[in-house]
Amino acid sequence: MPNIEIKAVSKNFSGAANSYNYWAEPQKRIAEELVKRIISINPMIHSILDIGCGTGYVIEQILKYGYSNRIMGIDIAEGMISFCRDKWKNSQNISFIHADMAQFNSEISFNTITSSCALQWGIDMQQTFTKILSNLNTNGFLALAILIKGSFYELLESYKKYLNSSLHGIDYRTDLYFKNILIKNNMEILIDETETVYSYHYGNDVLKYFKNIGATFKYNHDYTPLSVKSVNKLIDIYTQDYADSSGRLPISHKVLYLVGRKK
């Protein structure tokens, strides 16, 4: 994904930790669906590393199934880590580390590694997967939910229609791209499913959604902020082309669920 500045991504998500936990309803559902899939394949979870843990949606779901032997969450956004540490400050078996997933090396290995709505931010995916899988036991499980090409279609098409240009910073990769990465890294793919998850908002709340989950476009070198007039025009186009019968504007999140076993 070109033109993304990782430090800016970290800063944006760090500052959005509290609002993220309120606005990110689609991410909650996606985390729930991901954990259902890994539990169906690997009911004997005993150690978990959650990559890009955010405010802990995946960890919350795992705990609902009674798994709490050893859980570690990492995130590049320090604000997210602080949020999680405070939330689980009385849990001895749950720990959090401020770290970049592309560079993280754990002193211990894990039976299961999860990541939900985080890997789409990676730049060098081969390096990222090499690092991630170095922390996974042989025969361990990797469970991923990744936003792929087709996500935020309505916003991108409205932007293109208005300005005759694209938001290059969120050119998401395809499902085939990620599947090939797993295969190249000696992973046996056990689950390969896609789903489109929607959230609905009125008017300018569409853009507030992105801001409040930390997914603004400020990390993109090519992005020029829009004027108030331009924002209103963009929302008018969005509404004209995509609003439902009650005037709500959909935001599509195209999700790839991948579960694999390390050979």
- CATH number at 177 reads 3.40.50.150
- Rounded CA-CA distance 118/145 in Å is 8
Confidence of residue 78 (pLDDT cuts 50, 70, 90): very high
The residue-averaged pLDDT of 41-61 equals: 94
Note the pLDDT of residue 216.
63
**CA–CA distance from 38 to each of 9, 192, 255 (Å)?**
28, 12, 15
Residue 1 resides in a domain: no
Residue 198 resides in a domain: yes
Structural domains counted in the chain: 1
Residue 117 resides in a domain: yes
The residue-averaged pLDDT of 155-165 equals: 86
Note the pLDDT of residue 10.
64
Q: Which residues of 161-190 are buried (b: 16+ CB within 10 A; e: fewer)?
A: ebeeeebebbebbebeebbebbeebebeeb
- Rounded CA-CA distance 247/197 in Å is 19
Confidence of residue 6 (pLDDT cuts 50, 70, 90): low
Percent of the chain with pLDDT over 90: 69
In one-letter notation, the amino acid at residue 190 is L
Residue 200 resides in a domain: yes
Which residue carries 């569409």 as its tokens? Answer: 206
Note the pLDDT of residue 219.
46
With beta carbons less than 8 A apart as the criterion, state whether 24 and 253 touch.
Answer: no
Note the pLDDT of residue 125.
87
Residue 147 resides in a domain: yes
Helix axes 153-163, 228-242, angle to 10 degrees: 120
Kindly give the pairing relationship between strand 187-201 and strand 249-262. Answer: antiparallel
Confidence of residue 3 (pLDDT cuts 50, 70, 90): very low
The residue-averaged pLDDT of 190-202 equals: 97
Q: In what order do the strands lie in the sheet with 110-116?
A: 94-98, 71-75, 48-51, 110-116, 136-147, 249-262, 187-201
Token pair of 262 as six digits: 């390390």
Confidence of residue 2 (pLDDT cuts 50, 70, 90): very low
- Rounded CA-CA distance 241/252 in Å is 14
Residue 197 belongs to domain spanning = 6-262
Q: Which residues of 118-148 are buried (b: 16+ CB within 10 A; e: fewer)?
A: bbbbbeebeebbebbbebbeeebbbbbbbbb
Which residue carries 């290059």 as its tokens? Answer: 168
Residue 31 resides in a domain: yes
Confidence of residue 131 (pLDDT cuts 50, 70, 90): very high
Residue 102 resides in a domain: yes
Residues 6+ apart with CB under 8 A from 202: 247, 248, 249
Mean pLDDT of the chain: 89
The residue-averaged pLDDT of 235-261 equals: 97
With beta carbons less than 8 A apart as the criterion, state whether 259 and 37 touch.
Answer: yes
What's the pTM?
Answer: 0.91
Q: What is the DSSP letter of 4?
A: B
Q: How far is CA 144 from the centre of its chain?
A: 9
Residue 156 resides in a domain: yes
Q: Is the pLDDT of residue 49 over 60?
A: yes
Q: What is the DSSP letter of 250?
A: E
